[in-house]
Amino acid sequence: MKSLANSEQNILIDKVSDDIELSNISSINFKGLPGDKNNYYDKKLIITIVSNKGGVGKTSIAIAVAMFFSKEIKKKILLLELDSSPGDFGVIFDIENNKSLELALRFPEKYNEYVKNIYKNVDALKGMSNPLIAENIKKDAVNLLVDFISKDYDYIIVDTQTVINGPVLDILKLSDEILAISEYSLESIARVSSLIDTLVKKFSIPEYKIKFIVNKRKFLHIFKVWDISKIIKMPIYAFIRFDGKFSKSKFIFNKGSIFNTRFFKEIKKIFKKNIGINNDVER
Ligand SMILES: Nc1ncnc2c1ncn2[C@@H]1O[C@H](COP(=O)(O)OP(=O)(O)OP(=O)(O)O)[C@@H](O)[C@H]1O
Ligand SMILES: [Mg+2]
């Protein structure tokens, strides 16, 4: 699991004082491996948001990323929910029960009948609400569905549940980028770090595809580098600050209102900074 960036990070940690704020370290050297910029314009991309910790912001981040692509790149985006715990899409996007992943998996050739347009170029496919059915999804069913979906969409942004099941693993294997989300606490960072370890070692997910993002960072809460260096095994790609004015329920009332939130601006910054989007390019 040791990468070049990781060994550099360790060297750096040796040199800095013990009580430096973690985010300062981040801005020096936690940006991921060199040359990992993605060409978001030309590629078809599957981006999956995972975490084995509940309430860390997976759904909020998935929706914000979809809205970001909607605004900046203006291509077709599908928000796919792989959360049967149950998920939030039904309520947030007011999707009827008869439109869901369950039917889309059963009839992948007409999956678009189960998709709902939620904002301009963004559609959503709600997850199934029965976890037992989700457990019994046949292997390859997800692959077949994704084959059909990627003929019509440029980006598939996948929101997942806390428990990693078969369908989530199937989509992780197909994903170009995986955002692993932790809350801003040592125990959450340790837990997500061990999930990443499992994904890489046990399920052979390439480590370079995984970006470790820490959400809900609060200013008053400062970690000691020494604490972090003991539990973290990969670079932290980005931090998202806690935004007291943000709420996932904003999407219910006015989807566009997310653009003015600090939460969205942070997501935008992370993606813009790392992919070199040029504002002048209209596509
Ligand atoms: N940066 C942030 N600042 C403030 N609130 C946030 C932030 N990120 C997420 N939240 C809030 O945290 C709560 C949990 O977020 P969300 O439902 O997106 O997490 P989740 O990981 O999808 O949860 P679950 O495990 O239940 O699926 C929501 O109320 C959301 O509005
Ligand atoms: Mg969620």
Name which residue sits closest to atom 9 of ligand 1, judged by CA: 57
Over 90: is that where the pLDDT of 132 sits?
Answer: no
Query: What percent of the chain clears pLDDT 90, i.e. is strictly above it?
Result: 59
Count of beta carbons in the 10 Å neighbourhood of residue 138: 10
Q: In this structure, are residues 171 and 146 in contact, taking their beta carbons and an 8 Å threshold?
A: yes
With a cut of 70, say whether residue 110 has pLDDT above it. Answer: yes
CA distance 32 to 70: 25
Q: Higher pLDDT residue, 135 or 54?
A: 54
The rounded mean pLDDT for the chain is 82
d(CA 112, CA 103): 10
Domain boundaries, the chain: 4-34+42-275
CA of 182 to the centre of ligand 1 (A): 11
Residues 86-93 have a mean pLDDT of 93
Instruction: Please tell me if the CB atom of residue 54 comes closer than 6 angstroms to any atom of ligand 1.
Output: yes
What separation in Å is there between the alpha carbon of 154 and the centre of ligand 1? 26
Please tell me the predicted confidence (pLDDT) of residue 41: 59
How sure is the predictor about 208, in pLDDT bands with cuts at 50, 70 and 90? very high
Determine the longest span between alpha carbons in the chain, in angstroms: 59
Instruction: Select from 49, 59, 67, 265 the residue to mutate for testing ligand 1; criterion: most ligand atoms less than 8 Å from CB.
Output: 59
- Per the CB < 8 A criterion, the answer to whether 116 and 93 are in contact is yes
Whether ligand 1 lies within 6 angstroms of the CB of 60 is answered as yes
* CA 269 distance to own-chain centroid: 15
Provide the 3-class DSSP secondary structure of residue 10: helix
CA distance linking residue 3 with residue 209, whole number of Å: 13
DSSP 145-189: HHHHHHHH-SEEEEEE-SS--HHHHHHHHH-SEEEEEEESSHHHH
Helices (H), 175-249: 186-201, 225-231
Determine the pLDDT at residue 61.
Answer: 97
Report yes or no: 187 and 157 within 8 Å, Cβ to Cβ: no
243 lines ligand 1 (CB under 6 A): yes
Question: Going by DSSP bridges, is the β-strand pair 116-119/122-125 parallel, antiparallel, or unpaired?
Answer: antiparallel
* pLDDT tens by residue, 26-83: 332 323 333 444 555 566 799 999 999 999 999 999 999 999 999 988 899 999 999 9
Q: Tokens in use for 158?
A: 């996948």
Q: What per-residue confidence (pLDDT) applies to 27?
A: 33
Domain 4-34+42-275 CATH (choose: 3.40.50.300, 3.40.50.800, 1.20.120.430, 3.30.428.10): 3.40.50.300
Block residue for tokens 């809460």: 221
52 C-alpha vs ligand 2 centroid, how far in Å?
11
Q: Is 6 in the pocket of ligand 1 (CB under 6 A)?
A: no
Residues in the chain: 283
For residue range 167-202, list pLDDT tens digits in order: 999 999 999 999 999 998 888 999 999 999 999 999
- Cα within 13 Å of Cα(271), Cβ side: 26
Q: Of 88 and 8, which is predicted with more confidence?
A: 88
Span from the CA of 94 to the centroid of ligand 2 (angstroms): 16
* pTM reported for the whole predicted model: 0.85
pLDDT level of residue 156 (50, 70, 90 thresholds): very high
Burial letters for 166-190: b for 16+ Cβ neighbours within 10 Å, e otherwise? ebbbbbbebbebbbbbbbbbbebbe
Question: Which one-letter amino acid corresponds to residue 17?
Answer: S
Distance 246 CA to ligand 1 centre (A): 9
